[in-house]
Structure 1
Amino acid sequence: MELRQLEYFVAVAEEQNFTRAADRVHISQSGISAQIRQLEKELGTELFDRSGRTATLTVAGKAALEHARAALAAAGAVEQAVGEVSDVLRGRLRLGMVVGCTVTPLFEALAAFHQAYPGVELSLTEDASDRMADGVRLGELDAALIGAAGAPPSGVESLTLVSEPLVAVVPAGHPIAERRTLTLRALCAYPLVCMPRGTGLRAVLEGACAARGLTPTIVVEAGAGDAIADLAGRGLGVGVLSASMAAAYPLVAREVSDVDDPAVLALIWRTAPPPAVRRFVSLARKSFSAAR
């Protein structure tokens, strides 16, 4: 019995499909099927029921799954422990980044990490902030750059990078551009262009509106600040951004004066992180500090 056979077994059990499992572990379908057959031969029993459209665990397979996961975790812990003292890290670092947010210090930290630890496989995905926070809590992601309302989410370690007010962006000549102060109620009198649900900016806006009994009219949802600014500049609606995002565009920005919760950009990571995650967080701290 080999560790790679246990890895393939766990992959098929979780994917319930040999093809998807083969893609996940970067092997051909015939290869993973052969390895599972060899494992079943060594154990003297079938681990999967292959009669249906999905690969479902047999009673023996269910009994083996927890132990297979434990064996893989133990092997990973040994590798990490050795890496900790020899400064040679292996494994995988799974990162998330809020959709539509180009953050140069994060990319610089990734590049520095890859240069220092080329043996660690990196993956970076874009998603909504709320889903990424859940992914970090559940161990599906190791770390993520997210937006939040007021403060980073609970149940994770975090580093707040930006905490700033909500602003409206409009072209010169718009009635909002003529105002010295802008309340949330006055903002909601106009159609809005905003980030989609699941993002920190949208959470700040909707939370503040709910507290005041207001219903914003979102006419366009866009996942990137560039798109929101462009659409606002063309008169499709009032753009809603954070202060630092708004500063990048040739539009008039007005802070929404009575929104208490700031828009927060934070790096979050799993509790009790493995060495690779700790090293990346350390590099990210330096990168973001240098950018301020």
Structure 2
Amino acid sequence: MELRQLEYFVAVAEEQSFTRAAERVHISQSGVSAQIRRLERELGAELFDRSARAATLTVAGKAALEHARAALAAAGVVGQAVGEVTGLIRGRLTVGMVIGCTVTPLFEALAAFHAAHPGVELSLLEDNSDRLTEAVRDGTVDLALIGTTTATPDGLEALTTIEERLVAAVPPGHPLARGRAVTLREVCEHAIVCMPPGTGLRTLFDQACAAQGLRPAVSLAASAADAIAGLAVRGLGVAVLSESMAASYRDRLTGLLIEDVTAPALLALVWRQHPNSPAVREMLRCCRRAFSGEDGAAPR
């Protein structure tokens, strides 16, 4: 049994596809299939049900998966331990980022980390906040910048980087544009354009509406603030954004604080408790420096 066989096995199990697994580990599909067959012969059991379109785990495969992950992790720890002794950090680091993120300090932290540790293979994954949080919990993502309503999500450690109120943004001439602030009920009297479910802003908005017994008519949802603003400018709904997001479009939209939603929307960096990886610890150090405004990086 070889570590590469376990790596290919885990890749197929997570991708549910021999083709995607081959792309992930950078070898041919036939190479992956041959190594999996060899592993199955050594174990005396089939690990995948190949009768369906997706490669699904058999009972034996399910029993083997966590042990295979643990073996790969243990092998990685050996390399990391040697790396720490010799002053080098090698391996892989997967960083998650909420879709539509334009937070400069995160990019500064990535650049600083890469410059200091070019031997680490960096991967950047965009997704919504809920899925990124789960990916950090299950170990497929090392750390992630997410939108959240909770300062510290269950089972994780967190660093809050931005804390802002919800804002309704409307074009000139809109009935709400006459005031400086609005209530949530006033906002919900109009069609809404906002982030999709699974994002921090949407979760905060939905929770606030539920607390007041309101049922907003979300006419359109988009993952990027630019798209939400563009739809609102064209009269397709009231945009629900954070304060800094709304400020970016003040030449086209009037931002109105939603005065009775006092809970803030948070942007936070999250990671598993007590990280063993020196690469994760080093990336956290770079993030703390960048988000504190050191090295010329100012939070936006």
Question: TM exceeds 0.5?
Answer: yes
2:182 aligned with 1:182: yes
What is the one-letter code of the residue matched to 2:186? A
Alignment equivalent of 1:256, drawn from 251, 255, 258:
258
Equivalent position to 1:265, from 267, 284, 287 = 267
Distance 1:50 1:158, change over 3 A: closer
In the alignment, the residues of structure 2 paired with residue 203 and residue 51 of structure 1 have an alpha-carbon distance, to the nearest angstrom, of 39
Identify the residue that residue 132 of structure 1 maps to in structure 2. 132
Kindly tell me: are residues 216 and 152 of structure 1, through their superposed partners in 2, closer, same or farther at Cα, counting changes over 3 Å?
farther
What's the counterpart of residue 102 of structure 2? 102
Aligned length: 290
Q: Which residue of 2 aligns with 1:120?
A: 120
Structure with higher Rg: it is: 1
Aligned to 1:276: 279
2:152–2:158: 8 Å Cα contact kept in structure 1? Answer: yes
- Give secondary structure in 1 for the equivalent of 2:291: helix
Query: What TM-score do the two structures reach when normalised by structure 1?
Result: 0.89
Hey, what does 1:52 align to over in structure 2? 51
More divergent stretch after superposition (67-76 vs 241-250): 67-76
Deviations 1:178-203 (A, max 9, x none): 11331111111111111111111111
Change (3 A) 1:262 1:10: closer
| Structure 1: gaps of 5 or more residues | none
Distance (whole Å) between structure 1 residues aligned to residue 50 and residue 97 of structure 2 = 40
Structure 2 counterpart of 1:217, one-letter code: A
**Percent of aligned pairs with the same amino acid:** 62
**Does the 8 A contact of 2:151 with 2:158 survive in 1?**
no
Q: Is the 8 A contact 1:101 1:225 kept in 2?
A: no
Give the match for residue 286 of structure 1.
289
Offset of residue 62 of structure 1? 6.6
What residue in structure 2 maps to residue 235 of structure 1? 235
Cα distance in 2 for partners of 1:97, 1:276 equals 17
Residues 1-292 of structure 1 mapped to structure 2, 5 A cutoff: 1-15=1-15, 17-39=17-39, 43=42, 45=44, 47-48=46-47, 52-53=51-52, 54=55, 57=58, 67-249=67-249, 250=251, 251-273=253-275, 274-290=277-293, 291-292=298-299
Shift of 1:219: 1.2
Of residues 126-135 and 65-74 in structure 1, the stretch that sits farther from structure 2 once superposed is 65-74
* Preserved contact between residue 113 and residue 283 of structure 2 (Cα < 8 Å): yes
> Is the 8 Å Cα contact of residues 150 and 204 (structure 1) preserved in structure 2?
no
Shift in alpha-carbon separation, 1:163–1:47, aligned structure 2, 3 A: same
CA RMSD of aligned residues (A): 2.4
| TM-score, scaled relative to structure 2 | 0.87
- Consecutive unaligned residues of structure 2, counting only runs of 5 or more, are none
Give the 3 Å change call, closer, same or farther, for CA 124–65 of structure 1 in structure 2. Answer: closer
> Aligned pair in 2 of structure 1 residues 4, 154: CA closer, same or farther (>3 Å)?
same
Counterpart CA distance in 2 for 1:219 and 1:49 is: 43
Deviation at 1:263, TM superposition (A): 0.8
Change (3 A) 1:63 1:133: closer
Q: CA deviation at 1:139?
A: 1.3
